[in-house]
Amino acid sequence: MTKPAVRVAVTGAAGQICYSLLFRIANGDVYGKDQPVILQLLDLPQAQNAVKGVVMELEDCAFPLLAGVVITDDPKVAFKDVDAAFLVGARPRSKGMERADLLLANAEIFKVQGAALNAVAKRDVKVLVVGNPANTNAYITAKSAPDLPAGNITAMLRLDHNRALSQFAAKIGANSADIEKLAVWGNHSPTMFADYRFATVKGEPLPKLVNDEEWYRGTLIPTVGKRGAAIIEARGLSSAASAANAAVDHMRDWIHGTNGGWVSMGIASDGSYGIPEGIVFGFPAVCSNGSYEVVKGLEISEYAQSMLNITLKELLDERDGVSAIVG
C-alpha cells in the first residue's frame, strides 16, 4: 500500500542549490524510495516564473514519488503542515554590503519565516537552515518560532564535515566512508573547527594514520574553512551541488538514523561544552528514530578549546549583531 505523502517545504526554489536539491528530494534520496513527497516551494514574487520553469523540469523527470508541488511567495502557504523544511533562500551579499548589513537583511527574512513555521508547520517539523549565515539564521528562526522545539531547527555543518572527510581520505589514501567519528564544531564559516582527535579508520586512530599535526593544523583546517571561498573563486558562483548533497545527507540521517555513526549538525546548544544555551553551534551528533543526540563527554584539549573559543566568539558577535531584530 502506498504511504501517505510527506510535505517538504523548500525556500529559494529558483536558486542554484535548489536546482539540485529539489530533484534529489523528488527522487526519494531524503525520505526513502517508498515515501511519496509533496514539495512546497517558496521564492520571492519576482522569481515565481523561474520556479515554474524548475517545476516543469521536475514534471519532465516523471518521478514516481512526487505526489504534488505547491509554488508560492507566501511563507504561510509554503510551510502549511510541513514535515520538513529546507530554508535555502537567503539574501546574498551585494556590492558594498558589509557583513553586518547582510546579517540584518537575513535576520528579517528568517524572523518572518520562523514566525510562519511557528504558525502553520507540523509541531514536529524538522528544519534545516542552509542560507547563510546559516547558524545565526537558524538561531533567529528558532527564536521566532517559540512554540516549536528549538532542537528541531538546525543549521548545516554537513558540507564542512563532508569536505573534511574528503580531504582526510585523500591524505591517507582511504575511502571517506571508512572514516568514523569526525566532528566539525562551531560556525559554518572559516572559523569552523574540524576535529579529528576521535576519528578512526577501520579502528585505527586517524591522527596516527595522518601522522602530521602540522599539516592538520596548517593545511587541513584552513582548506576546509576556506573551501567555500575557493569554489566561488574558481566557479564564479558559490557551491551548489555539494551544498544540496550535504543538505540531503543531513536530513536523511536525521530522519533515518546513523547507526551509531557521528555526523556534524548545527544544533541549539543545551549548554554542553560551555557553549551558551540557544547558540546554534556545530556539534558531533548521533541520529536515531527521527531524533539526534549531541555526543557528550568528549575531552577538550587546550588546542581544541582555543579553536572552539574562536568560532564561538564569531557566533556571539553575530548574535549581538541581530539582537535588535530578535530581541
Q: CB of 122 within 8 A of CB of 4?
A: no
The answer to whether the annotation marks 170 as part of a ligand binding site is no
Instruction: Determine the size of the site formed for ligand LMR (CB under 6 A).
Output: 7
> What's the distance, CA 178 to chain centroid?
22
The answer to whether the annotation marks 319 as part of a ligand binding site is no
3-state secondary structure of 153: strand
Residue 123's Cβ-count burial label (10 Å; 0-12, 13-18, 19+) is exposed
Contacts of 111 by beta carbon, 8 Å cutoff, 6+ apart: 140, 144, 325, 326
Residues 69-98 vs ligand NAD: string with x where CB under 6 A? -------------------xxxxx------
> Is 230 a binder of ligand LMR (CB under 6 A)?
no
Residue 179's H or E segment, with its range, is strand 179-180
Which of 38, 159, 206, 209: binder of ligand NAD (CB under 6 A)? 159
Which of 26, 55, 109, 312: binder of ligand NAD (CB under 6 A)? 109
Active site residue 188: yes
Among ligand LMR, ligand NAD, none, what binds residue 14 when CB lies within 5 to 8 Å by partner kind?
A: ligand NAD
Could you tell me which of 39, 41, 37 has the C-alpha nearest to residue 2? 37
Q: CB of 83 within 8 A of CB of 8?
A: yes
The answer to whether the annotation marks 15 as part of a ligand binding site is yes
> Is 164 a binder of ligand NAD (CB under 6 A)?
no
Sheet-wide strand order for 204-205: 179-180, 200-201, 204-205
Among ligand NAD, ligand LMR, none, what binds residue 42 when CB lies within 5 to 8 Å by partner kind?
A: ligand NAD
Q: Which is nearer to ligand LMR, 21 or 67 (CB)?
A: 21
> Is 228 a binder of ligand LMR (CB under 6 A)?
yes
Contact positions toward ligand LMR, by CB under 6 A?
132, 159, 228-229, 231, 238-239
Residue positions forming the annotated binding site for substrate: 93, 99, 132, 163
Residue positions forming the annotated binding site for NAD(+): 12-18, 43, 106, 113, 130-132
Which residues are catalytically annotated? Answer: 188
